[in-house]
Structure 1
Amino acid sequence: MDAVSYDYGTAGWNSAVTTEQWAQIKSYQADFNIRLVRINEYPGATTGTTAKTGTPTTVSLTDLSFFPTANLKANAAVSLTGLYAVPASITDATLTKEVAQFSDGSTAAVINTADGVEVWAWYMAWDPSWSLTCAYLQHAHIHWMTRGIFQGKRKIHLSTQIDDIQLSTEMYYPTTYGDLKISIADLEAHIDWQNNINARMPSGSDYWLELGHNGNGDFIDATGTDASASVCDPNEAVDYDQDVEAPHEWVKPIGSGEDLWPSSWTEYPWTLTCAKRDTFASWFLDANNLNQFGHISHTFSHMNLNNATYADAKREIQFNQAWLKQLGIDKATRYSDNGIIPPAITGLYNGDALQAWVENGIVQVVGDNTRPQTRNTGHPYWPYITSKATNGYTTV
């Protein structure tokens, strides 16, 4: 509850809530064992404190024992930028306990239990609508106020994806590195990193990275040598001249465009023996390695799909599905068989590409919420669903 204090001239600063109203609130608390949180409060006798001078720059939680279910960190300072603060000191240590402290060592928040009622008071401005500090700190008093009890379940979903797995990528900075491809050592380092995160999270939590695979990268490394000629037929990866990239929300006329894939590529041709020549791809053959991550298709060659033909879009999906199946990635504990990450989030206004996706079981794709044209502007928590009228094909 906000202090809603105003300057009443000769009467000084006082709350717009009258003395009688505060008494009613206090009586309600006592009758039903209700906890009260007061924000924008000024130190005073009602909360067992007095004001001090000072201009603190940060605030941190100090005593976590009052809200253990919040899973917050003690002494983790956050900025007071843009927030007015009034340093306080405790005058009644018997009934008043500090729960947060300012950077100058003064008290930022207390829990006071005078007269048998529990009151949490923050001695700082409060507005979580713009202040990340307030948005973070409120987790403490919400858990205290509700005693850590919630109706139903409280879940946080964080999906972290890494694209272009199997492919090398040109480094834009520093340019001296040229093309780089993630290594087995990198993957193993991220397994350790995931395990470290999971060890520190509350019981029942589970975090993992999802890898978006482009199978053509396997054959870029596995083919093209004399040694590979005896086991790889063809002894090359898919290659084609890049097309001029169409704008993201350009609506491609159905049936238009020219195939970029050479006409000789009609069915997935390589054997597992050939695919295993790339040690990086082979690493995923071990189920213990495979199941450390989630997996999803990122198309076979990473073609921009805004102007792709139906035939090219179909091969991008089918070839990658065949490769994922060949290496057993489709049998991973966490595998998205009905989804893809479209390269650069393209193809969402290309009815030919959308049709190729749906016909091959792809009905859910990663979008881009920075683009209004690919998010549900009417319902921010609902997915964007394509339509024939707007996107050229429906149900994706």
Structure 2
Amino acid sequence: MIKKIINVATLFVALISSVFAFEMNMNTLYLTENRLNSMVSSMLDSYGMNYDIVQLPAKSLVLEKDNVALYNSIVIENAKQETLSGIKAQIEEYSKKYKIRIAYLNSEPDQSVAANSQQSIFMRNVVLTDQGYELASKYQMNGKDVQFTVGTCILDTNFQCIQYTHYEVDPIIKDSIKPLLKYTDIEAYAGALVNSNGIESIHFWIPFIDSHIAYFASHLWISYINYGLIDGYRRLFFEIQVDDYFTDNCFNSSDCSATPDAPHYRTSVEDMENIAKWQKDISSRMPKGSDFKVELAINGIHILTKAQHKQYEIRNWTDYLFPYEYKKPLNEHGSSRWPEKFDDDWDDKILQDDKLYKHFKNHDNQDNFFWLTHTFSHQKLDYASYRDTDLESKENIKMSKEPYLGMYDRDCYSKHSIVTPEISGLHNGDALKALTDNEVYYAVGDTSRVDVSPENFYLPFITNMTTSNFDGFVVIPRQPPQVYWDCSTIEENMEVYKMRYPDRTNVTWEQHLNEEADLHAKNFLKLRHDPYMFHEGNLRNSDFKEVSIGSGKGKYGMLQQWVERVTEEIQKYMNWPLVSIKMDNLAQTYLTRISKEQCKPKYTMVVDDSSFKISEIKVKATTGECKVPLLAIKNTEFDKSTVDSIEKLGMDPQTAWINVNDKSVKSVKFTSSVQWNDDSYTAKSGSIIAYSISSLKILLLVGIATLFIMH
């Protein structure tokens, strides 16, 4: 009897809760009058958020359906007051009813906000106000004393400037308005928080085109209008890949024998020991929770060459030259680099005459780095036959296994990934079939090449029969910094730089590093996960002079100096952990994103009518199944029993990962009371788990199946 009474009471409470609660989708409404060169949608994509785009002008909006609030945040870009006149009352009524915050981006300020404003095309700098820095700090951003340049121009395909205006605003001085950005050379503002008539909004009166300030400010408005509860995740991956490892490269020449007196360099054991120590040091100087590690892409033949042991088994070194987009016909045999018979019964004792090989047979030394294949002999794969590609894979795998290097089956090695020589073979169906038959499913591309770059850089390029005569090979974007492949010294690098840019012969290495840092820090503001391409000679450091860069001081080689300077630049803007993971795991993050895009998850908050407290967040896939994130920049924690895993690094807020499908709803809850319209947050230190993903085996199967469905 008592049990029945309790059950009835529980049911009654549930019914009462449902009657006096409303549901609200976690979905952003993006209203825009002009999206030309806008980066707003790409920043929503960077978090992986759900959003709908409505082109202005619009006569009315659908904001509610079947007693469900369809949007939990609103973004309005490039809108005039006249354009908004027909829908402004509807937006404001909706905002008041559901406590929805609004972001106004380069939109004309109304009279309640601005006593006076004017549009301008002049290039100006802005800085954060004290209130702006306070808001940035809340979201673990920095920006203190940084002078941001407001973007005013984007070059079109004919290198003609498309001009963009910004607003210079004199806000009405009152408690309801908090300036966020101010111009440095005039008495005017470029951003503010406004709390007026029960509506909270954030305003940035600058163009949201390619610029550091646009990307920086996006992290502020995205977090602000969502009250810190985001249907996505944020992570800074700092991935350095070093190609040609174990190779002795000659400066300014791909063939040392052709220029026997040419300077050349192969890293020493001392170089690598220094790099290993430095990685730990710089990780300690990065934001809490950081873990930085270099990944080495190996060519096994150069171990044989150094040890002078069976290195001449390959005799056909014909280099076939084709344009990047060349697609080898499947009925053409292709190259024949490998002879019918060859001796690969290597003597491990002889190979240990190579000091680098001997050093890296030690598991402790291996674990200082991540590893993957770069083919055995660095054969370009654009015209490679199936057999050549198969042997290039198998021989490098053999060198990586016991009784040789013995790293292939260890956690430090990415056995399913490859850096193809010169990013070749990605349009060669025979080569891709051979790689896949050797359980290699992922490669890196080159963002300077359109033919292997995805339309959306948060997703990989995936081959199909049209592009490559092969379906489903995954190519993730990779950045080519201007530290050149055949250079091991600063002098060599600047010599090549000045050959490439004859109008910039006065540029110094320090200036070059500053330009590189300025350029690539922007990628981190974009939350781009692209690895960076370096080469074996760039690791040289043991004979360098001591330098000081940012918080670091030591005998740093070019790669180290580049990383130090870029790290310093990133930390001007963000205090988020910088994390390196091996390529197999990085590829999985891209597959997870693709799977999420396909299953179209829906997040719905259940919110109390009077208190606005969130009782649960219901998550379900629209089609299929996938793994989805939920970020909470709030003073609470996820209930572990309601999610599949929780990720937290250093001072970062928690991100929950939830496995969802289209058959049932997952109910995500918190350990303490969470109010929808309260974004109070104080960052706390301590990692719950390191960055992790689901079982590699499972994701591989899901990933490959997903890719074939796409084509």
Fold-level match, TM-score > 0.5?
yes
Aligned to 1:143: 223
Aligned with residue 298 of structure 1, among 364, 374, 380: 374
Q: Which segment drifts farther, 56-65 or 189-198?
A: 189-198
Using the alignment, how far apart are the partners of 1:390 and 1:99 within structure 2?
47
Deviations 1:160-194 (A, max 9, x none): 42211111223239x99622334445543376357
2:413 partner amino acid = Y
Say whether the 8 Å CA contact 1:252–1:307 is kept in structure 2. Answer: no
> Matched residue of 2:103: which SS?
strand
The answer on 1:29 being equivalent to 2:104 is: no
Aligned to 1:265: 342
Say whether the 8 Å CA contact 1:218–1:278 is kept in structure 2. Answer: yes
Using the alignment, how far apart are the partners of 1:3 and 1:210 within structure 2?
43
Aligned to 2:701: none
Aligned to 2:497: none
Q: Structure 1 360/28 Cα, relative in aligned 2: closer, same or farther at 3 Å?
A: closer
Which is richer in strand? 2
Using the alignment, how far apart are the partners of 1:245 and 1:317 within structure 2?
19
> Matched residue of 2:408: which SS?
helix
User: How big is the shift at 1:201?
Assistant: 4.5
Using the alignment, how far apart are the partners of 1:219 and 1:330 within structure 2?
18
> Matched residue of 1:113: which SS?
strand
Using the alignment, how far apart are the partners of 1:294 and 1:352 within structure 2?
28
Aligned to 1:113: 195
> Matched residue of 2:208: which SS?
coil
User: How big is the shift at 1:386?
Assistant: 5.2
Aligned to 2:417: 339
The answer on 1:74 being equivalent to 2:156 is: no
Q: Structure 1 186/144 Cα, relative in aligned 2: closer, same or farther at 3 Å?
A: farther
User: How big is the shift at 1:142?
Assistant: 1.3
Aligned to 1:365: 443
Aligned to 2:165: 84
Deviations 1:172-221 (A, max 9, x none): 39x99622334445543376357635753574x65543221001112222
Aligned with residue 274 of structure 1, among 347, 350, 353: 350
Q: Please, what is the CA RMSD of the aligned residues? A: 4.0
Say whether the 8 Å CA contact 1:37–1:145 is kept in structure 2. Answer: yes
Aligned with residue 284 of structure 1, among 350, 360, 380: 360
Say whether the 8 Å CA contact 1:56–1:104 is kept in structure 2. Answer: no
> Matched residue of 1:330: which SS?
coil
Deviations 1:106-153 (A, max 9, x none): 4221112244432322233x234x556424422211111112211254
Aligned to 2:538: none
User: How big is the shift at 1:330?
Assistant: 1.3
Aligned to 1:38: 104
Aligned with residue 64 of structure 1, among 133, 150, 155: 133
TM-score (norm 2): 0.45
Equivalent runs, 1:1-396 vs 2, <5 Å? 1-2=76-77, 4-5=79-80, 15-18=82-85, 22=88, 25-41=91-107, 46-47=112-113, 50-51=116-117, 57-62=124-129, 63-67=132-136, 68-69=138-139, 71-82=141-152, 83-89=164-170, 91-92=172-173, 94-104=175-185, 106=187, 107-124=189-206, 126-128=207-209, 130=210, 133-155=213-235, 159-172=239-252, 178-187=263-272, 188-189=274-275, 192-193=278-279, 196=282, 200-201=286-287, 203=289, 206-223=291-308, 234=310, 236=311, 238=313, 240-247=315-322, 248=324, 249-251=326-328, 254=331, 256=333, 259-261=336-338, 265-266=342-343, 268-325=344-401, 326-350=404-428, 352-368=430-446, 374=452, 381=459, 383-385=461-463, 387=465, 396=473
Q: Structure 1 32/219 Cα, relative in aligned 2: closer, same or farther at 3 Å?
A: same
Using the alignment, how far apart are the partners of 2:241 and 2:233 within structure 1?
25
Q: Structure 1 123/314 Cα, relative in aligned 2: closer, same or farther at 3 Å?
A: closer
Say whether the 8 Å CA contact 1:275–1:281 is kept in structure 2. Answer: yes
User: How big is the shift at 1:319?
Assistant: 1.7
Using the alignment, how far apart are the partners of 1:371 and 1:3 within structure 2?
32
> Matched residue of 2:398: which SS?
helix
> Matched residue of 1:281: which SS?
helix
User: How big is the shift at 1:89?
Assistant: 4.6
Using the alignment, how far apart are the partners of 1:42 and 1:376 within structure 2?
35
2:317 partner amino acid = Q
> Matched residue of 1:289: which SS?
helix
Using the alignment, how far apart are the partners of 2:95 and 2:327 within structure 1?
60
Using the alignment, how far apart are the partners of 2:429 and 2:193 within structure 1?
60
Using the alignment, how far apart are the partners of 1:333 and 1:112 within structure 2?
51
> Matched residue of 1:138: which SS?
helix
Q: Structure 1 311/81 Cα, relative in aligned 2: closer, same or farther at 3 Å?
A: closer
Q: Which segment drifts farther, 136-145 or 89-98?
A: 89-98
Aligned to 1:9: none
1:344 partner amino acid = E
User: How big is the shift at 1:77?
Assistant: 2.8
2:106 partner amino acid = N
Using the alignment, how far apart are the partners of 1:23 and 1:307 within structure 2?
63
User: How big is the shift at 1:369?
Assistant: 6.1
Extract unaligned runs of 5+ from structure 1: 6-13, 224-231
Say whether the 8 Å CA contact 2:299–2:377 is kept in structure 1. Answer: yes
Q: Which has the larger radius of gyration?
A: 1
Q: Structure 1 177/44 Cα, relative in aligned 2: closer, same or farther at 3 Å?
A: farther
Using the alignment, how far apart are the partners of 1:102 and 1:297 within structure 2?
50
Say whether the 8 Å CA contact 1:52–1:89 is kept in structure 2. Answer: no
